Structure 1
Amino acid sequence: LRSNATHTVCTCRHLSSFAVLMALYPVEPDYGLEMLTKIGLSLSLVCLVLSILTFKFCRSIQGTRTTIHLHLCICLFMADLVFLVGISQTEPEGGCRLVAGLLHFFFLGVMTWMLLEGVQLYRMVVLVFNATIRPLYLYLFGYGIPLAIVVLSAIIRPKGYGTKQHCWLSLKDGLIWSFFGPVCFIIILNIFFFIITVWRLAQKFTTLNPDLSKLHKIRAFTVTAVAQMCILGLMWVFGAFLFDEGMTVVEYFFTILNSLQGVLVFVMHCLLSKQVRDEYVQFLSCICTPQKKRYSDFSSTNPSSSQSQGSRSGQHTGESQI
């Protein structure tokens, strides 16, 4: 900012984008990446709130799969919010470590809930009876596995949470693999479940008396689950290509796709679902109906009121009403 013969006053600002989460090298400050991250995350947060409200209050779609989607969106919302607010807050050191731990937990939570959807689809196709999973087991797996990984990582590498530049996992001691390793493992498991699911679906379609309506429904669920895995899982694998400096194009591509994950989830599970769209239409009609009703009531009461006014005037003037 200013300097003299003995002193120099400087300013320092930590710029943050999604690229810092997977880059295996120190990411240089880039205003373009930072703005893309902020805009994308802001849109994602709005869409995730709409998704959470939809999964919570739409009665026609309630079930195990909707519960999984609800908690997946909650984890993604919290991860995006913590990233947007705290990724650059490197002081105080304890607060920075807390932010890094929360990011680690919620991003892993997104992956474990995505794995649970693959397991649920597998059970729907392979286990025709008793295919639902108890909510308690969902919560224990969906939140317990990420919590166990974070606690073990914090015990083994307590100084690996938070760096001088960002509140994320340190690259120096290899703690980043406590995130990237589970992500790769979950994606491989999901691919296995989806392959088995598609194979069994193909077998069921060739049977003599297939339940076509149920099979078409499961097939649609499988397609959206595979698309979701590409959005939430394979994008992180794409970030593994950030292994060397100067990969600006990869940084931008990775940042744009990951910051818009919430938007893509809302479009895929809400806007592209006919059942959810019908719920939206019904909700909007309920909001607009009272106004129309009040207008129609006013219109219907007008003739009677005018007639009563006419009778009253007739009584005063002595004219008869026929």
Structure 2
Amino acid sequence: MWICLFPLALAWLSTTRASEYCENVLNVCQGGDISWTKCYEDRIASCVVRRRSSSFIYRRVNWTYEEEQSPTADHRFLISSSALLTSRGAVSESEVLLVATVIQSTYFKPGPPPRSRHITVHRPSQSTVLGSSVLAVRAGNYPVSDLSQAIKLGFKHDKQVDGACVFWAESQLENGTGYWSTEGCDTNRTESEFICTCNHLSFFAVLVNPVLTVDERHAVNLSYITYIGSALSIFFVVISLIIYIRLQRRRPEKAVGLHLQLTGALLCLHLSFLLCCFWVWHLNEEEEDWVCRGLGLLLHWSLMATFTWTALEGFHLYLLLVRVFNIYVRRYLLKLSLVGWGLPTLIAVVCGISGVYGRYRPELTDANNRSSTAEICWMSSHRLPVSFVTTVAFPSLVILGNSCMLGVVVFKLSVLRASGFGAESGGGSKKMSREQWVKLWKDGATVLGLSVVLGLPWGLASTTYVSLAGIYVFTILNSLQGLFMFLWSLALSGKSRSDHSSVKDPSSQKMMTTSFNN
């Protein structure tokens, strides 16, 4: 009898050794040479459940009905019958295997970035995964994708946060690595839960407060907008320089001299930007080009010069509108020029001697969080503190100060208009006349023009972290700075001609003279 049972016992032992306990599959796949996620998906379907657990769902379900399960109190999913039918394939069975569990996000490692020259934005870090947990859902023996009836997944949260539903996509460059992708998944957020609707099965998670991403189509559009806008700005800036030079010769004025200097800085900025973008395309990967380092210095210097002259525009308005009396400064424009051109030159020279310029390779991603490397002649990535101080902190202070000065301008205009409106109405009807509406529109145009001169469109950089529309608005407005400066020069030129004929608006004339022509 024992002899007869021995082959059965031997067969049972060999089967047990061949099978794996489901609790050990993750550790076994982590130590392999192939992708651990593919290994996990293959082996989890044939493992042996040693201990029943509510956080590990492993059961056969009827494919004719939709199935709703909750591996944990914070995770749930609803899989449709069509998805279960797709996972069954050609096998004529009434039931399919459904497996679901929650895995720590630390097992998912980002891979090296592929090469790309499109404009994209930074990849969210692993620490942004909600609850540091990933919901894995698998059904049947066949891949499930492009479903007509999407599956729904729920991720609970205990605070008001922004997030995006993503799944883990394997990298083709290196085994075991990949990226978080939003492709095929939509996100809806309630007060207590993120609801993800996806058309496939995979490893799912929610990225909390993810950095806004731009897919390839929008990246190409933004690239064209930037290049075309900068080229147009160069054209219009040259015309603006000619207009300002003629105005300066006709009536030498300090404000026109400031506009002339700012326009020259803008010309250098757009020229150097296009040169840096196009020159880096001709560099080899191993080549260290001194021209690229020089272009990086020129771009950095031009950007600092633009913001320095923008700050000086605000300083000039301060003297005119706040320090109205005793503002005479000997050789005023010369001293401003020493600051406007000297300070950027000093900083650029020091940075150049320190060797901070070269090819810059930021880590970028597209809408699927696939990493890429865009290059530009700029400051090398290991010099980020220098970049932050000179291109983030300093511009932020300039924009903040000039925003306050624009508020002073609006206040002064409102006071002048209020006094003029009261005098014209004579204490009678408060209804505004057509002429007063025209004055109001002129004041609005004045404020808009000043906002461009004071560099306030640069402040829209904060909107690029909020929405895709913010990225487009920021790109369009700042790539067309030359066009706006041209329109402002036309307005000043027209005003200069009208000053020689007649003055129809004393209050407006007083304001414009005080602000722009002193």
Partner of 1:31: 220
Partner of 2:299: 103
Partner of 1:118: 314
The structural deviation recorded for 1:153 is 4.0
Amino acid at match of 1:32: N
Distance 1:203 1:51, change over 3 A: same
Do residues 179 (structure 1) and 391 (structure 2) align?
Answer: yes
The structural deviation recorded for 1:46 is 1.2
Do residues 85 (structure 1) and 297 (structure 2) align?
Answer: no
> Mean Cα displacement is larger for which, 235-244 or 266-275?
235-244
User: Which is bigger in relative contact order (C-alpha 8 A, separation at least 6)?
Assistant: 1
Between the aligned partners of 2:117 and 2:458, the Cα distance in structure 1 is 23
Distance 1:43 1:72, change over 3 A: same
Between the aligned partners of 2:360 and 2:264, the Cα distance in structure 1 is 26
Between the aligned partners of 1:89 and 1:236, the Cα distance in structure 2 is 25
Equivalent in 138, 149, 153 of residue 347 of structure 2: 149
Determine helix, strand or coil for the equivalent of 2:386. coil
The C-alpha deviation readout for 1:273-310, integer Å capped at 9, x for no partner, is: 5235669xxxxxxxxxxxxxxxxxxxxxxxxxxxxxxx
Between the aligned partners of 2:279 and 2:348, the Cα distance in structure 1 is 20
The structural deviation recorded for 1:106 is 1.1
Amino acid at match of 1:127: V
Are the aligned partners of 1:44 and 1:261 in contact in 2 as well (CA < 8 Å)?
yes
Partner of 1:191: 403
Which 5+ residue runs of structure 1 have no aligned equivalent?
1-11, 208-219, 280-322
Do residues 159 (structure 1) and 356 (structure 2) align?
Answer: yes
Partner of 2:456: 234
Are the aligned partners of 1:37 and 1:255 in contact in 2 as well (CA < 8 Å)?
yes
Equivalent in 57, 62, 65 of residue 255 of structure 2: 65
Equivalent in 45, 49, 54 of residue 238 of structure 2: 49
Determine helix, strand or coil for the equivalent of 2:391. helix
Tell me the TM-score normalized by structure 1.
0.63
Amino acid at match of 2:240: S
Are the aligned partners of 1:48 and 1:73 in contact in 2 as well (CA < 8 Å)?
yes
The C-alpha deviation readout for 1:230-265, integer Å capped at 9, x for no partner, is: 576333232244459xx6443332221111110011
Q: Quote the RMSD (CA, aligned, Å).
A: 4.0
Partner of 2:18: none
Between the aligned partners of 1:85 and 1:28, the Cα distance in structure 2 is 25
The structural deviation recorded for 1:190 is 2.1
Partner of 1:315: none
Determine helix, strand or coil for the equivalent of 1:168. strand
Between the aligned partners of 2:214 and 2:385, the Cα distance in structure 1 is 17
Distance 1:155 1:258, change over 3 A: same
Distance 1:81 1:225, change over 3 A: farther
The structural deviation recorded for 1:100 is 1.7
Distance 1:162 1:130, change over 3 A: same
Do residues 74 (structure 1) and 271 (structure 2) align?
Answer: no
Determine helix, strand or coil for the equivalent of 2:379. coil
Amino acid at match of 1:139: S
> Mean Cα displacement is larger for which, 235-244 or 96-105?
235-244
Between the aligned partners of 1:28 and 1:150, the Cα distance in structure 2 is 35
Between the aligned partners of 1:202 and 1:95, the Cα distance in structure 2 is 52
Between the aligned partners of 1:148 and 1:89, the Cα distance in structure 2 is 25
Distance 1:170 1:122, change over 3 A: same
Are the aligned partners of 1:114 and 1:229 in contact in 2 as well (CA < 8 Å)?
no
Partner of 2:55: none
Are the aligned partners of 1:232 and 1:261 in contact in 2 as well (CA < 8 Å)?
no
Between the aligned partners of 1:145 and 1:72, the Cα distance in structure 2 is 14
How many percent of aligned residue pairs carry the same amino acid?
26
The structural deviation recorded for 1:57 is 1.7
Partner of 2:19: none
Equivalent in 368, 379, 387 of residue 169 of structure 1: 379
Are the aligned partners of 1:87 and 1:100 in contact in 2 as well (CA < 8 Å)?
no
Do residues 258 (structure 1) and 478 (structure 2) align?
Answer: yes
The structural deviation recorded for 1:83 is 1.1
The C-alpha deviation readout for 1:106-132, integer Å capped at 9, x for no partner, is: 122112112222222222232335446
The count of corresponding residues between Structure 1 and Structure 2 is 251
The C-alpha deviation readout for 1:187-210, integer Å capped at 9, x for no partner, is: 222234444566677778999xxx
The structural deviation recorded for 1:272 is 6.3
The structural deviation recorded for 1:186 is 1.2
Higher-Rg member (1/2): 2
Between the aligned partners of 2:496 and 2:315, the Cα distance in structure 1 is 23
Distance 1:82 1:274, change over 3 A: same
Higher helix share: 1
Determine helix, strand or coil for the equivalent of 1:175. helix
Amino acid at match of 2:359: G
Between the aligned partners of 1:200 and 1:271, the Cα distance in structure 2 is 20
Distance 1:186 1:193, change over 3 A: same
Distance 1:51 1:250, change over 3 A: same
